[in-house]
Every structure is written in C-alpha cells, then in structure tokens.
A and B are shown apart, each in its own frame.
Chain A
Amino acid sequence: MDPMLQVQDLSVHYKTRRGFVRALEELRLDAIQGETVGVVGETGSGKSTLGKAILGILPAGTQVDGKILFRGRDLTQLSNQMYRRLRGEEIALIFQDPMTRLNPLMTIMDHFVEEIRDHESVSADEARRRAREALVSMGIHESRIKNYPHEFSGGMRQRIMIALAIVLKPSLLIADEPTTSLDVIVESQILGILQDLKRAYSMSLLLITHNLGIVAEVCDRVAVLYAGKLVELGPVRDIFRKPLHPYTQGLLSSIIHLETKELHSIEGSPPNMIAPPSGCRFHPRCPYAQSICVERLPPLVEFEPGHFAACHFGDKFL
C-alpha cells in the first residue's frame, strides 16, 4: 500500500539570536493508512517540531528543507490558503497541554462552530448539531457545550481538544504528548479513545511521546529520534526485542523493571542543538563509541526487513 504520509529528508532549523537551532536533520518517516507510528525521544529531540512541521505551523522565519508528501502532494509547496484548508480537515494535531489550548473567551460551542464553518459551507444549525455529536462521542454531556474552557478539568479539556480534532474527520491525527499533563487514569481513558477513533475512522495516528509504555501498548511501528536525527525505525516488536541503536537500548533499559527493581539511566545530557556533536550525535554519551563515531555520521541502514538503524555497529547488536 502506498504510504499516506512520507516525510523525506526533512530538516528544520529555528532562527534564534544565538544561531540556528537544528531541531530536525534529514528526517525520513512514513505512515500508511490506519497505522499508528510512535515517535519517541527525549525533550529537545525534535519530536514536537515534527508535528508542527507537518501541519506547517512553525514560527515565521523557520527554515524548512525536504519534502512532506501527504497522499502524494508535497505540503511544503502548498499555498497558505490550501494549507489552511488542509489543517483540521485532513491532518489534525492534538497538543500536550490542553489547559492553555482553548480560547478562554469563547464557549466550547463557539470553537466547534467556528472550525466547522471555516472548512465547510454548512448552516449554523448543522454545525451546532455536529458539534454536539462530537462532544457527546467524547463522553461529555451536551448540556455543557455552552460552557467556557475554564469550567472544565484537564482531562475533559483534552477530550474537547480531541473532539475538535476529529470533528472534520481527518485521515491523519498527530498527537503530541497527548497525555503527559494528565494523571494515569485519565491517560488510559484518552489512549482508549484514540484507539477507538483510529479503528472507527481508519485514521493514521502519529503518536509523539517519551513514554515507551504507551508505545508498546498502542503503536505498530516506532521511530526513535535523538538530537533531531532519526536513529532507529521499525516495528514495535522488533525494536523492543532487539534494539539496534545504543540510544534505543539506553531508553529501554531506563524503564523500571518490576521484578528486579533496577533502573538504569543514560549518562550525560542532550547535546547543544546550535552546534551538535560531530559524526554520530550520540557518541559523547555512547558506551560503545569508537573513533569512527566521532568522525563519520552513520547512515540509516536496513539491518532486517523494515528495521532501520543509524549506527556504525548496528550489525553487532543483531
């Protein structure tokens, strides 16, 4: 099947006073219809930048190179008007912090009606009917649709954000740490909702998270980012059983084990993104680093079918 989303050699450089922050470097990623792809990495790895780059909502002045193909169209070449129509209608984004994402001066109904009528020429009554339907499908009573954002809890606001994201039935949903600011019970509710939605609408889901537990639970494939580079990509099962990149190995061993109660961490801290390390960006923190890792950037190699890694010594871990 042809991939619905193909990200090809995507680089994103933010302009700052101290220089360009290389948030993403030559990233490759794809997703087919109905697939859930996890994007994993630590803070500053470029995960959130990826979501915003796909939607074209990066701050003005940001330098974007490469292609983002969505159903065969290169999004980076779209006009502003075409891109606006696509947002929400074909690709939707759910953010990390639902508390600050709604306009405090508008009722929930206003948010829905505005979005629906900015994309489709329907009557206000029809828009209101669909708004109620979307809200109720998220388990929120329809009488609350006239309320303002501050009258809802964090978990409810995230469900409202999801309802807003799916009301136009997009075919790709990007969820950027959708549960990070919520407690575990609400987290499992939200994850359940996302999986139900995916099945109901056969949407593709790009799940950006730092939580490997969530990845194991809901994702088909996973992409591991380190300092703006894709270091490993493959089916969840392969990556959890046989991580090929030392960074992925470090991430997996930093999950606490119930039997042994052991907890490992990766030494060092994420690199400076204005002047990242030479060669393999992970080499200053890598326990297996050799001189070649300092000198040469490892290419992304397919070590087994569908399982890619960017490590000079990937075959040693097979």
Chain B
Amino acid sequence: MPKQGSLLAYTVSRLILALPTLLVLLTVLFLVLRILPGDPISALEAGRRSTRDIAADKARLGLNLPWWVQYPVYLSQVFSGNFGTSLGQIYLGQPVLQVILQKLPATIELATGAMLVATLVGVGTGIIAGSRRDRPPDIVVRLYGSIIWVIPVFWLGLMLQLVFAVGLHWFPPNLRYEPDPVFFPPPSHLTGLYTLDSLLEGRIDKLAISLAHLALPSLTLGLVLSGFFTRTVRANLLRTINSDYVEAARARGIRERYIVYRYAFRNALIPVVTILGLQFAILFAGAVLTERTFSWDGMGTLLLTSIDSRDYPMIQGTVIVYAIIIVAISVVIDVINGFIDPRVRY
C-alpha cells in the first residue's frame, strides 16, 4: 500500500477521537443509574434490617451524597482502573474487575461464533441474491432474510435445542462445557476462551467438546443477525452493479469476474463493513437473551443479576467494559474502511 503512512496517522486520530466518546458514555451511565429507583443496599437488605441501619450503610459507601460529589470520585476511580467491589448478593465483596474478567471470555467466544455464522450466511446469501436479481434464488433468499430477522432469538434458541440437542442428540443443549469436571476437565484457564485454551493445550478432544457446546448458541444468535446482513449485502451489491463505473468498465472490455469482484463487490463492501461492525457491538449486548437460553455464563447473565440487585459497581463495571469493547470495535471498523477505501483516509 502506497498510503501506509497516512493510514497509520488515520488510525491514531481515530483512537484519540474515541476518548471523548468514552467519557460521554461514562457520564450518561452514572446519571442513569442514580436516576433509577432503588439502590444496592436496599436491594440487598430489604425487609431484613431497619431503615436506620440501611441509612448507615449507605453513608459508609457514600451513596447518600449528592451526585455531583459522587461523580468526580467515580470518574477518578474508573480512570485509575479501580472498579470497586460488588455490592450484590452473589459476588458480594469480590473485586468487580476480577468477576468481569471471568465472564468476559464466554461472551467474546459466543459473539465471535455468532458473528462468524452471521457473516458467512449473510454475505453468502446476499451475493447469491444480489447477482441474480428477481430470479428464484433471489426471491428465496429475500424471504429467508425477512423471516429470520423477525424470529425472536430465544424462540429460535429453544427450537434448535429441541431439534438438535433433545431430538437428534447432535449437540449438547446448554452450558459452555461438560458438567463433569473429573472425566472431562475443562481446559486450563489461560485466556478463558475454551476453544483457544484447548488449542494452546494441544487437546483436540477438549476443542471438540468446546465447539460442540458453542455450536447451538452461535447458530442461534448468528442466524438471527444474518437476515439483516443478507439484505444489506444484496442492496449494496445491486447499487454497485448498476453503477457508472461498472458500466464504464464493461465498455472497456474488462473481464466480467473482475467487474463483479473489483468493482461491484469491493465497493459494496464499504457500507457492509460498517454495519457488520456495529452489529458486532450490538451483538455483545444482544447475547443476553441467548446466554439465558443456553445457560451460558457470560457478561449478559452477569449484567442481568447485577441490575436485579442494583449492584452499582458491578453494573458500572460491566457497562464500561461493554463501552470499551464497542468503541474499540468502531475504531477497528474505521481502520478497516480506511484500508479498503482511499477516500476515507483524508
């Protein structure tokens, strides 16, 4: 690439621009949590202790102070990497960051698996439909795209469990790994990604078990998303196939396969990459329902239990980690787009 230097400069500028975005997110999160009714101490102790004791506990944690006093403390803690300790029932007293780092790999693994399914199915069907406009394959694919998009993710999950786990016994119905730690010890915790850890250990049998557990949840989440990708890829391909530069390339006698790949497909890819990335970010949050359906012990489950118990530090920590991931993904998308599209680099 002749423009390597400017691509690097562009990446750095994108990273710097990501910082204010994070600050805004942190502030909104803080305010929303204080506006919500209830607080961690009441949720934890409700009905068991006197209101006076509760008030004393709140004062000890600084929760009785006005928000403008709590806010700078909160910010300085976050920026020094101190996320506090849990105030919820399950993880009471445990450092928030430690709990999150335990749950995060499960969600990353699920989101990546789902993204893989969605991209392969979505881009594949999108190309089939876009290059055969209004012919039978296109009509079938468009129908698929609409139907899969409106199916609720938990319903699809239940159906896949019913057919492939309960009925056919092809895949385990839930969990990340076998429940029996003696016969099936899980891979040692290096990255927390069971598939990667199995590979690092060099154990193909463990990898197979991990993948088998990953299959149904990834398929569930990935298929629901794929419908949207199908439609996006198809629409963009139709747009670029009818573009002026494709007509001009045809007039120059360029080979048809180059026209489809270099002209139509690569140009159609630019908006698709952006949408793919945004969906990947949303997918982290959307994994909540899938995690519930498949008893997948990840960030989504953690967030739900934390909200139930008004565990402020845990909710804040979880959402901050989500926010960092989303900002990181959007920077990666921008860099990828900068790589594909020379116009973006300026």
Contact = CB atoms under 8 A, between A and B. Distances in A.
Interface of A: 52, 55, 57, 84-89, 92-93, 95, 97, 100-107, 114-115, 118-119, 146, 148, 150, 161, 164-165
- For B252, B340, B341, which residue has the most chain A Cβ atoms within 10 angstroms? B252
Interface string B266-277: 110000000000
Interface of B: 2, 243-245, 247-256, 258, 262-263, 266-267, 340-343
A115 B94 CA distance: 65
Given A102-B248, A103-B245, A105-B266, A87 B253 contact: yes
Contacts, number: 74
B21 to A, nearest CB: 27
A57 B246 CA distance: 11
A87 B263 CA distance: 17
- Give chain B's interface secondary structure class: helix
A57 B340 CA distance: 28
17 contacts: A84-B253, A84-B255, A86-B253, A88-B252, A88-B253, A92-B252, A95-B244, A95-B251, A101-B245, A104-B343, A105-B262, A105-B341, A105-B342, A106-B262, A107-B2, A118-B253, A146-B2
Given A104-B341, A105-B267, A146-B2, A118 B251 contact: no
A287 to B, nearest CB: 39
Contacts of A100: 243-245
Given A102-B248, A103-B262, 20 more contacts: A84-B255, A85-B253, A86-B253, A87-B250, A87-B253, A88-B251, A89-B253, A92-B251, A100-B245, A101-B245, A101-B248, A103-B263, A104-B245, A105-B266, A105-B341, A114-B262, A115-B254, A118-B254, A146-B2, A148-B343
Contacts of B254: 88, 114-115, 118
B255 A101 contact: no
B251 A150 contact: no
B342 A104 contact: yes
Given A95-B248, A104-B267, A115 B343 contact: no
Contacts of B2: 107, 146
Contacts of B255: 84, 118
Q: Which 7 A-B pairs have the closest CB atoms?
A: A87-B253, A88-B253, A100-B244, A101-B248, A88-B252, A93-B251, A148-B342
A104 B342 CA distance: 8
Contacts of A93: 248, 251
A89 B254 CA distance: 11
A164 B157 CA distance: 55
A161 B245 CA distance: 11
